[in-house]
Amino acid sequence: MEKERFLVIGGVAAGMSAASRAKRRKPETEVTVLERGSFVSYGSCGLPYYVSDLVKDVQGLVVYDAAFFREKRGINVLTRHEATKIDPEAKTVSARDLDSGEETKLGYDTLAICTGASPSRPSFPGVDLKNIFVIRTAEDGIALKSFIKESRPKRAAIIGAGLISLEMAESLRENELEVLVIKRPGSILRMFDDDMAEIVESELRGKGVELIKEAKIQGFEGNREGLVKSVILEDMKYDVDFVLLATGSAPNSLLAKEAGIKVAQNGTIVVDERMQTSCPDVFAAGDCVGQKHLLTGKDVYLPRGTTANKQGRIAGENAAGGNEVFPGVLGTAVSKIFSLTVARTGLSSAEAASEGFDFVTSSVAHPSHAHTYPAPEPEDMTIKLIVERTGRLLGAQIVGRIGVAKRIDVFATALYNKMTVDEISNLDLCYSPPYAPVWDPILVAANVAQRKLA
Amino acid sequence: MEKERFLVIGGVAAGMSAASRAKRRKPETEVTVLERGSFVSYGSCGLPYYVSDLVKDVQGLVVYDAAFFREKRGINVLTRHEATKIDPEAKTVSARDLDSGEETKLGYDTLAICTGASPSRPSFPGVDLKNIFVIRTAEDGIALKSFIKESRPKRAAIIGAGLISLEMAESLRENELEVLVIKRPGSILRMFDDDMAEIVESELRGKGVELIKEAKIQGFEGNREGLVKSVILEDMKYDVDFVLLATGSAPNSLLAKEAGIKVAQNGTIVVDERMQTSCPDVFAAGDCVGQKHLLTGKDVYLPRGTTANKQGRIAGENAAGGNEVFPGVLGTAVSKIFSLTVARTGLSSAEAASEGFDFVTSSVAHPSHAHTYPAPEPEDMTIKLIVERTGRLLGAQIVGRIGVAKRIDVFATALYNKMTVDEISNLDLCYSPPYAPVWDPILVAANVAQRKLA
């Protein structure tokens, strides 16, 4: 009898999780991964720290390399191989070896599409000039870091003001660059409420980042060598040595679409909760698919490394005959922006409003830990809660300097369980002076929200 | 019409919360607090950091002083006033001014007993010798710290090996003392599983703490001046300059008992979920009462500052005509022991076994955050889960160096909601390299437990 073949397109987060899980569940399966880039299983969220040189070598971003997967897990990993066509009838995938140019065709019994997403490239005039970078893959990081090391630029413009843009603002400031963050009208960090984003704004300005908020970008201007030399706004022109585009990302679903696999309006490959596509034996996971929002039940596109890994694992399990489901997401996110930690989960005020919820919001600043352990001194964190009139929590946002990240996870766990602020205020959370005040900021936030509802 | 009078006995955690809450709910009430000590509203959990001199002055432990409560909250605070008798018929409390010796009698409409607990004093021969200290109140801390500063002792014995004992071991090592921790047969940190306690044991030894585990203490020996000079075990004698007794605490319920208020077998004042005692118009809260365990539904005695504050608040609310309930506790705790953070919630293996649960346990060591943010380098934390065969989480314990404290709170929130490890493994927790690996240790622990159950 021939061995069963599981083929995976894409070898970063979802892809390697799917491959590893399928091999673990059914070790006799022949598992092959096609990865377009040179690296597999790397943490692209670490790219800002690679560019800032906190991580010296790009290998420092890799969790396990291709050799590990081949030798320790018995997974056939083909890097620098781009899948060019899926034939769901013949159950084959065509691929091109990007080094030799050679074309091959691989058969499969089950397939997982984990093609990820690509940075959005706004259609501004001049967007194809040289020294306009994006930051998504290890190769993008290498290109930007070598440019900075070799060309010693002085002044950079970042287009966009989301979490990655602002992490990169810090990263470039670490490189002692002048940094302009240019964004279209509206506040920065749109997944946060405006009042929370304002705290981050003042941190940015305090760290010497120039923020141009109401920008109507007309395009980029180049010099004779075709290198970008300025960003053109409606009424202004900024001279820069390079540009980083960070205006979001779009799912890589063309390959699936061309194979007749169902793709949604927003470009995500349509999957059910078992990560199965419209095509028998084809699964998809990671940044190329959408998710169900646990609070609204609606389809959303909230790409995250954590979600990609979980979905990949489930795709691999089910491709190998399992029956696991992915329940959905809450849009939980955290980011270090200079000395601030910013974190959120659930719905923002704008999202709760557009979903038609009847809600109140409450904000409170409360210390990270007890003043009886002043090493370091406690720092206030600001917690904003979005609470349905019924008392049920809809969302939480925290901005602070100490102890923020895993506190958002308590709120994410509360949201998963549809807790009310009354219930949250009674949680038996841990206390000791080095870690929390006797009234944890989580409990104080719930208490303040209770009073708003009263 | 006369003003309504709310009287509170005890002004540390529960007492001041009760007083503040009643005054807030019904500002026209006359609120009086009797406190035996000189300080109100202080963080006794900060005493190890006061003794270690991280907090220089005892005032640094105080959250709000008596003047604040008098002037800002309109609460009549009488420090150095000891309640000597409750007369529930006449609705009066007798009190002695500890400075003048004067006796007074105060009437009340509602009363809250927040008398806390006292350190257990084992009945060893010689236990009343001088230089045998306890650590519970601000005054205890002052006595110990002045003794260390003035007498410059070299060698200390701590009797007991619970969280406070070990926090004090660190505190005394910070004072450059030789520290012996002496405990009766059985492992240290009995609220943790043995394998978790062993990690702490090796930390203690690494920090130069001498641990005598199987000690059968016969008593203490004194010198001619009545100062303790050695700890006598069955087969051994240890010379020390002072002794710290830290073998637990017992509820202060004598006053209630003498007034005919119902007191349980374990010495706690019996209250319902509204914090009401057996006596009309008398409430009780804090370390002098018990709690309901949220997992077993049974009465337990797990005194904590957090619980005292929550219960106090509810007692104050209800004494002022409200109707709030305290749902119960999970025994959540965290402590810094040298460079380790140790945390737990729910049932330990021993507790789950004695409650008759059919359960498995799983342990895993996983990094605190991504290796792509090596500032500081990630450190493994060990997570042990106690999981019912049905998949429902019963308890969690974590020992590590970074990011432990608020991760135990995610498990506490999961326990409150009776989550299974399947559900926990799907939580949408936050990820960014400085704060977590892409698979958070919480999710990895749940995944490992799932495999144990399979």
ipTM: 0.97
Whether A428 and B331 lie within 8 Å, measured CB to CB: yes
Residues of A in contact with B423 (CB under 8 A): 416
Question: B99: how many CB neighbours lie within 10 A of its CB?
Answer: 10
- Chain A interface, best mutation among B145, B373, B377, B430, by max A CB count within 10 A: B430
Q: Is B100 exposed, middle or buried (0-12, 13-18, 19+ CB in 10 A)?
A: exposed
Tokens of A188: 């920065």
Give the 3-state secondary structure of residue B271: coil
Give how far A162 is from chain B: nearest CA, Å.
Answer: 14
- Chain B interface, best mutation among A317, A332, A335, A409, by max B CB count within 10 A: A409
Query: DSSP label at B4?
Result: P
pTM: 0.97
Question: Which single residue is written with the structure tokens 């290498």?
Answer: A142
Nearest to B327 among A310, A413, A426 (CB): A426
Q: How far is A375 from B52, CA to CA, in rounded Å?
A: 12
> Cα separations (Å) of A190 from A44, A193, A211, A248, A451?
22, 7, 15, 12, 27
User: Looking at the annotation, which residues of B are catalytic?
Assistant: 45
Phi, psi of A102 (to 5 degrees): -65, 140
Q: Which of B388, B293, B313 is nearest to B349 (CA)?
A: B388
Q: How far is A97 from A92, CA to CA, in rounded Å?
A: 16
Nearest CA in chain A to B64: A371
Q: How far is B224 from A332, CA to CA, in rounded Å?
A: 66
Q: Show the CA angle centred on residue A152, arms to residues A146 and A153, nearest 5°.
A: 105
Nearest to B412 among A46, A309, A429 (CB): A429
Give how far A49 is from chain B: nearest CA, Å.
Answer: 7
Question: How confident is the model at residue B280, as a pLDDT?
Answer: 85
Whether A428 and B307 lie within 8 Å, measured CB to CB: yes
Nearest to A438 among B309, B332, B374 (CB): B309
Whether B409 and A431 lie within 8 Å, measured CB to CB: no
Measured in residues, chain B has a length of: 454
In single-letter form, the type of residue at position B158 comes to I
Residues of B in contact with A43 (CB under 8 A): 370, 372, 433, 438
Whether B432 and A50 lie within 8 Å, measured CB to CB: no
Give how far B436 is from chain A: nearest CA, Å.
Answer: 9
- What pLDDT band is residue A88 in, cutting at 50, 70 and 90? very high
Q: How many CB pairs under 8 A join A and B?
A: 219
- Chain B interface, best mutation among A41, A42, A392, A432, by max B CB count within 10 A: A432
Nearest CA in chain B to A17: B439
Segments in chain B below pLDDT 50: none
Do B18 and B315 meet the contact criterion of CB atoms below 8 Å apart?
A: yes
Whether A433 and B60 lie within 8 Å, measured CB to CB: no
Strand duo A30-35 + B132-134: pairing = unpaired
Question: How confident is the model at residue A186, as a pLDDT?
Answer: 86
Give how far B238 is from chain A: nearest CA, Å.
Answer: 32
Residues of B in contact with A438 (CB under 8 A): 13, 43, 45, 63, 305-306, 309
Question: How confident is the model at residue B1, as a pLDDT?
Answer: 61
- What pLDDT band is residue A1 in, cutting at 50, 70 and 90? low
3-state SS string over B309-343? HHHHHHHHHHHCCCCCCCCCECCCEEEEECCEEEE
Nearest CA in chain A to B416: A427
- What pLDDT band is residue A440 in, cutting at 50, 70 and 90? very high
Tokens of B43: 């963080």
User: Looking at the annotation, which residues of A are catalytic?
Assistant: 45
Nearest to A430 among B309, B405, B429 (CB): B405
- What pLDDT band is residue A280 in, cutting at 50, 70 and 90? confident
Q: Which residues of B325-337 are buried (b: 16+ CB within 10 A; e: fewer)?
A: ebebbbbbbbbbb
Question: A383 Cβ partners below 8 Å, 6+ apart?
Answer: A363, A364, A365, A366, A396, A397, A398, A407, A441, A442, A444, A445
Beta bridge partners of A341: A336, A400
pLDDT (average), residues A42-71:
94
Residues of B in contact with A135 (CB under 8 A): none
Q: How far is A385 from A390, CA to CA, in rounded Å?
A: 14
> Cα separations (Å) of A153 from A184, A303, A317, B255?
25, 32, 47, 76
Edge to edge, the sheet with strand A178-182 lists A132-133, A242-245, A155-159, A178-182, A209-212
Give how far B228 is from chain A: nearest CA, Å.
Answer: 31
Question: Which single residue is written with the structure tokens 């005892």?
Answer: B58
Phi, psi of A26 (to 5 degrees): -135, 85
Nearest to A428 among B330, B426, B429 (CB): B330
Do A292 and A298 meet the contact criterion of CB atoms below 8 Å apart?
A: yes
List, in sequence order, the alpha helices (H) in B132-280. Answer: 138-151, 163-174, 194-206, 254-258
Q: Which residues of B165-194 are buried (b: 16+ CB within 10 A; e: fewer)?
A: bbbbbbbbbebebbbbbbbeeebbbebbbe
Residues of B in contact with A408 (CB under 8 A): 430
| pLDDT surpasses 90 at A335 | yes
Residues of A in contact with B326 (CB under 8 A): 426
Whether A417 and B412 lie within 8 Å, measured CB to CB: no
Whether A433 and B371 lie within 8 Å, measured CB to CB: no
